[in-house]
Amino acid sequence: QVQLVESGGGLVQAGGSLRLSCAPSGSIFSINAMGWYRQAPGKQRELVAGITSGGSTNYADSVKGRFTISRDNAKNTVYLQMNSLKPEDTAVYYCNIDSRPRAGMRVDYWGQGTQVTVSS
């Protein structure tokens, strides 16, 4: 069973930066898209940023202009550069890989989550 391994979370002051990384423990084929989600206490998990196999990106309105998602296709690794962090960015961040191994079939892989805490 392939797992996604995340790193880069931690505690940072408001205005600071963090870079999250996520890599699979094994091979994943037919990747359609990769993304980062987050879940704050008492809230639902939300999409933060996504990137398709073609390189198109999308961001939550709350992070536009501050966060940048990128990927290394050779390593199937996805990154999230977070700048100008705010206390409201505090959450557990999860990476996701959306794989389409066959027509009409979708397999989602999830990381274990990494805590990001932004102090005011």
Q: What is the pLDDT of residue 107?
A: 96
Q: Are strands 114-119 and 10-13 parallel, antiparallel or unpaired?
A: parallel
Residue tagged 């987050």 (tokens): 38
Q: What is the pLDDT of residue 111?
A: 96
- H or E element at residue 114: strand 114-119
Report whether pLDDT(120) > 90.
yes
Using 50, 70 and 90 to split pLDDT, how confident is the model at 52?
very high
Report whether pLDDT(113) > 90.
yes
Task: Give the mean model confidence (pLDDT) for residues 70-89.
Answer: 95
Report whether pLDDT(73) > 90.
no
Report whether pLDDT(108) > 90.
yes
